[in-house]
């Protein structure tokens, strides 16, 4: 019988099986590197090319983030009742509003909670401001979307595994093809309050829409008084080589939904928009015990400053181009396409390649941590602080794995 570790055994015996993790138990980490021991030996060192799905854009154990966390902990204030004020929340709201060039910020915890909040917000805006008929609001979403795992978010997923067995679903959504502006124009009716879209689809496999898609979609929304909501949870905050993926088309969405890297390793998410939308929320309309708590907010302030001051979007752009160009030089019978934007790279394999999972397992043996998305796509998304030397360390390992039988 193959030896399994105690952690694998405990996970198998006691943990819910809603994930299928590789048997790598990370116990210490620094920058783009993780170790499966605490002595940080060479043989237990791995390059993290997943970065907690972009929650670790700033890298592990960033001194400024750890200091901000320690400083806040030393005050003894991690969470307070929302009945009282909190300075970290106030300062974070200001900083985030300025960065997004918007007037108001709503802080939540997880990405999907911010999505739910944006849905509630735009529905209420629709009834109050657009005068949509009672209970008739609809929101347009795209095929192959990923907006999280709550019941409402999976209600408008096109992925059967995300939905099956969880009915009844939340109504009020219309699904259209991604990248198709005509479909958007046709789907809009008098009761449409919002268009919810990922500027680049992440979980779907780093799908970059046709040039001009975001700009044209935004124009169509404006023309029909529909709120353009950009889910920037994974593609935002530098991942694609710009601060926001919408910046590639100089589009400013009406509503930004942010999460993941915003918390600098802790759970924090946000909805950011102008007062004319946000002010439909009045005291008591919406809430969250932990949303924007002083601890996470204090770290998030530093997390945003690190992204801007260390020029992580610029590094993502430069290193992403280098990484992708070098990968493209790897001739492999398994690879259908190398694509990406910034440090967000998808390697799409042919169906005959036997699935991306076996490649991710082989990469783990080469000490590179990646995760497949869907059947046939290897996703590469390291922390945005990665250097050319670190990419050069990884390239021959990718070559070896992509050229295996």
Ligand X SMILES: *Cc1c(COP(=O)(O)O)cnc(C)c1O
Residue number, 196 or 391, with CB nearest to ligand X: 196
Report, in Å, the least distance between residue 330 CB and ligand X: 27
Interface residue with ligand X, options 59, 62, 92, 198 (CB under 6 A)? 198
Region of 219 (left: φ > 0; alpha: ψ -120 to 50; beta: rest) is alpha
Catalytic residue among 260, 266, 295, 398: 260
| Closest-approach residue to ligand X (CB) | 111
* CA proximity to 188, closest of 230, 153, 222, 150: 222
CA distances, 341 to each of 164, 240, 258, 345, 380 (Å)? 32, 5, 19, 7, 11
Interface residue with ligand X, options 199, 205, 253, 259 (CB under 6 A)? 259
- Mark residues 272-291: x for contact with ligand X by CB under 6 A, - for none: --------------------
Active-site annotation holds for 231: yes
Q: Does 234 contact ligand X by CB under 6 A? A: yes
Token pair 């300075």 is found at: 87
DSSP assignment string, 227-272? EEEEE-TTTTTTTTSSSSGGGGGT---SEEEE-GGGGTTS--EEEE
Q: Does 112 contact ligand X by CB under 6 A? A: yes
Token pair 């967000």 is found at: 344
Q: Does 116 contact ligand X by CB under 6 A? A: no
Tokens of 247: 């910046």
Interface residue with ligand X, options 58, 72, 110, 152 (CB under 6 A)? 110
Report, in Å, the least distance between residue 198 CB and ligand X: 5
Report, in Å, the least distance between residue 232 CB and ligand X: 8
Q: Are 116 and 183 in contact (CB under 8 A)?
A: no
Q: Are 108 and 271 in contact (CB under 8 A)?
A: yes
Between strands 192-197 and 138-142, the pairing is parallel
* Contacting range for ligand X; rule: CB under 6 A; set: 142-150, 189-197, 291-299, 354-362: 142-150
Catalytic residue among 48, 102, 124, 146: 146
Collect all residues with Cβ–Cβ distance below 8 Å to 27 and sequence separation of at least 6: 35, 36, 37, 38
Residue number, 44 or 234, with CB nearest to ligand X: 234
Interface residue with ligand X, options 231, 254, 348, 372 (CB under 6 A)? 231
* Contacting range for ligand X; rule: CB under 6 A; set: 111-119, 279-287, 317-325, 361-369: 111-119
* Contacting range for ligand X; rule: CB under 6 A; set: 104-112, 185-193, 359-367, 379-387: 104-112
**Where is 379: in which H helix or E strand?**
strand 377-380
Active-site annotation holds for 218: no
Give, to the nearest 10 degrees, the angle between helix 356-365 and helix 388-402: 120
Q: Rounded to whole angstroms, how far apart are CA atoms 116 and 327?
A: 37
Report, in Å, the least distance between residue 13 CB and ligand X: 25
Collect all residues with Cβ–Cβ distance below 8 Å to 399 and sequence separation of at least 6: 330
Q: Does 263 contact ligand X by CB under 6 A? A: no
Active-site annotation holds for 392: no
- Mark residues 41-60: x for contact with ligand X by CB under 6 A, - for none: ------------x-------
Q: What angle do CA 374, 59, 258 make, to 5 degrees?
A: 60
How many residues touch ligand X (CB under 6 A)? Answer: 14
Q: Are 208 and 320 in contact (CB under 8 A)?
A: no
Q: Does 271 contact ligand X by CB under 6 A? A: no
Region of 148 (left: φ > 0; alpha: ψ -120 to 50; beta: rest) is left
Residue number, 114 or 306, with CB nearest to ligand X: 114
Report, in Å, the least distance between residue 202 CB and ligand X: 5
Q: CA 158, 358, 52, 100: dihedral to nearest 10 degrees?
A: -50
Catalytic residue among 156, 218, 228, 231: 231
Binding residues (CB under 6 A) for ligand X: these are: 53, 110-112, 115, 146-148, 198, 202, 231, 233-234, 259
Write out the catalytic residue numbers: 146, 231, 260
């Amino acid at each position: 019988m193959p030896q399994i570790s105690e952690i694998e055994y405990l996970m198998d015996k006691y943990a819910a099986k809603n994930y299928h993790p590789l048997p790598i138990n990370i116990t210490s980490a620094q920058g783009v590197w993780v170790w499966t021991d605490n002595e940080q030996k060479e043989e237990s060192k791995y390059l993290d090319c997943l970065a907690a799905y972009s929650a670790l854009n700033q890298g592990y154990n960033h001194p400024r983030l750890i200091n901000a966390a320690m400083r806040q902990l030393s005050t003894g204030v991690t969470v307070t009742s929302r009945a009282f004020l909190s300075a970290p929340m106030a300062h974070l709201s200001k900083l985030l509003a300025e960065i997004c060039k918007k007037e108001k910020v709503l802080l939540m915890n997880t990405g999907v909670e911010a999505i739910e909040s944006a849905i509630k917000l735009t529905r209420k805006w629709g009834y109050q401001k657009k005068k949509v008929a009672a209970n008739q609001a609809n929101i347009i979403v795209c095929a192959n979307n990923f907006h999280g795992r709550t019941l409402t978010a999976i209600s408008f997923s096109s992925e059967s595994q995300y939905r099956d067995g969880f009915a009844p679903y939340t109504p009020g959504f219309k699904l259209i093809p991604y990248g198709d502006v005509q479909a958007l124009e046709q789907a809009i009716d008098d009761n449409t309050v919002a268009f919810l879209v990922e500027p680049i689809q992440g979980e779907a496999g780093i799908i970059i829409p046709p040039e001009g898609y975001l700009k044209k979609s935004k124009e169509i929304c404006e023309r029909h008084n529909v709120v353009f909501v950009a889910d920037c949870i994974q593609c935002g905050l530098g991942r694609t080589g710009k601060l926001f993926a919408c910046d590639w088309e100089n589009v400013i969405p009406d509503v930004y939904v942010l999460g993941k890297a915003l918390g600098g390793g802790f759970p924090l998410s946000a909805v950011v928009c102008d007062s004319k939308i946000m002010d439909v929320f009045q005291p008591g309309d919406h809430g969250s015990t932990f949303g924007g708590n002083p601890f996470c907010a204090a770290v998030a302030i530093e997390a945003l400053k690190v992204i801007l001051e260390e020029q992580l979007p610029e590094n993502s752009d430069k290193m992403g181009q280098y990484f992708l160009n070098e990968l493209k030089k790897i001739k492999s019978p398994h690879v259908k396409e190398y694509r990406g934007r910034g440090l967000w790279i998808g390697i799409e394999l042919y169906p005959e390649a036997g699935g991306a999972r076996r490649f991710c397992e082989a990469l783990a043996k080469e000490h590179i941590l990646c995760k497949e998305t869907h059947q046939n796509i290897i996703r590469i998304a390291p922390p945005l602080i990665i250097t050319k030397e670190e990419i050069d360390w990884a390239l021959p390992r990718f070559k070896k794995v992509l050229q295996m039988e």
